[in-house]
Amino acid sequence: MTQNINPELGRAALRALIKEGSPLGPLKVMAQAVGRFFQIPLPMFHPYIVFGPQANRKVLVSDREKLFWRNGDPVTTLLRRGVLVVDGDEHDHYRKLMEPSLHPSVLAGYSQMIISHTDRVSAQWRDGQKVDMLIESRKIALLIIMDALFGVDAWNELQHLWKPILKAIEYISPGLWIFWRQIPRPGYRKWLKQFDEYLFEIITDRRRQTMDDLSSDPSSVVHCRSDLLQHLVDAGLTDDVIRDQMLTMLIAGHDTSTALLAWTFALLGQHAAIHERLVDEIDTLEKSPLLDQVIKESMRLYPPIHIGNRVGKENMDFNGNVIPAGSRIFYSIYLTHRDPRIWEQADEFCPERFAQGRTTPPFAYIPFGGGPRACIGAAFGQAEARLVLKRLLQNYRFELLNSKIHAHMGATLEPRPGVFMRVTKRNPKAS
Ligand code: HEM
- Is the separation of the CB atoms in 295 and 385 below 8 Å? yes
At 315, which amino acid appears? N
Greater model confidence, 22 or 147: 147
| pLDDT of res. 223 | 57
326 CA from centroid of ligand 1 (Å): 25
Greater model confidence, 370 or 17: 370
pTM for the structure as a whole? 0.95
378 CA from centroid of ligand 1 (Å): 7
- Is the separation of the CB atoms in 37 and 49 below 8 Å? yes
Asked whether the predicted pLDDT for residue 350 surpasses 50, the reply is: yes
pLDDT in tens, 328-349: 999 999 999 999 999 999 999 9
In angstroms, the CA 357 to CA 371 distance is: 24
For 59-86, the DSSP string reads IIIITGGGEES--SSHHHHHHTT-TTT-
For the chain, give every domain's residue range: 47-425
Mean pLDDT of 271-286: 97
128 CA from centroid of ligand 1 (Å): 35
Mean pLDDT of the chain: 92
- Is the separation of the CB atoms in 312 and 329 below 8 Å? yes
| pLDDT of res. 230 | 96
Ligand 1 within 6 A of 248 CB? yes
182 CA from centroid of ligand 1 (Å): 28
Greater model confidence, 97 or 226: 97
pLDDT band at 415 (very low <50, low <70, confident <90, very high): very high
Greater model confidence, 1 or 370: 370
Ligand 1 within 6 A of 295 CB? no
Mean pLDDT of 354-373: 95
pLDDT in tens, 12-64: 888 888 887 778 888 999 999 999 999 987 777 788 999 999 999 999 999 99
In angstroms, the CA 70 to CA 373 distance is: 13
| pLDDT of res. 1 | 42
In angstroms, the CA 111 to CA 385 distance is: 11
Mean pLDDT of 189-218: 91
Asked whether the predicted pLDDT for residue 430 surpasses 60, the reply is: no
Q: Look at residues 39, 60, 34 and name the one whose alpha carbon lies nearest to residue 49.
A: 39
In angstroms, the CA 306 to CA 299 distance is: 9
Ligand 1 within 6 A of 95 CB? yes
Q: Look at residues 390, 388, 430 and name the one whose alpha carbon lies nearest to residue 110.
A: 388
374 CA from centroid of ligand 1 (Å): 7
Mean pLDDT of 396-414: 94
pLDDT in tens, 62-85: 999 999 987 778 899 899 999 999
The atom number, within ligand 1, closest to the CA of 374 reads: 12
Ligand 1 within 6 A of 412 CB? no
List Cβ neighbours of 24 (8 Å cut-off, separation of 6 or more): 306, 334, 407, 409, 413
How many CB atoms are located within 10 Å of the residue 28 CB? 18
What proportion of the chain, given as a percentage, has pLDDT over 90?
78
Assign residue 379 a region (left: φ > 0; alpha: ψ between -120 and 50; beta: otherwise): alpha
The CATH class, in words, for 47-425 is: mainly alpha
